[in-house]
Amino acid sequence: MQTVLAKIVADKAIWVEARKQQQPLASFQNEIQPSTRHFYDALQGARTAFILECKKASPSKGVIRDDFDPARIASIYQHYASAISVLTDEKYFQISVLTDEKRKIFSGELRFSADR
């Protein structure tokens, strides 16, 4: 029997191949902007670092919060998080690829500090 993680990985590989056909990398590659924040750097420093997770649902529990509000989560997390893991998978976590609005919430409003 296939593990849940193996199933997620297999399904995502199929999704990626289909997505490549619909929207080839070359069609948006020039629009990609490198991040000024780095996950690894956020975890460095003298203090304990916390990676906080954001997900609306999980494969084992289903929907965790019907009233999932990324802006509210970001406003709470910014006081504690060194970095945030946002699970973006429609099928298993009910969050699709980050929209511009969600991307701003999770990258622009949160000011990660290496000494947090």
- pLDDT confidence bin for 113, thresholds 50/70/90: very low
What is the pLDDT at residue 11? 94
- Distant-in-sequence, close-in-space partners of 113: CB < 8 Å, separation ≥ 6: 42, 45, 82
User: Sorting pLDDT into bands at 50, 70 and 90, what band is 18?
Assistant: very high
Provide the pLDDT for residue 74: 82
Domain boundaries, the chain: 1-32, 35-116
Closest CA to 68 of 58, 60, 57, 82: 57
Residue 100 has pLDDT above 70, yes or no: no
Does the global pTM surpass 0.85? Answer: no
Q: Residue 82 is inside which H or E element, if any?
A: none
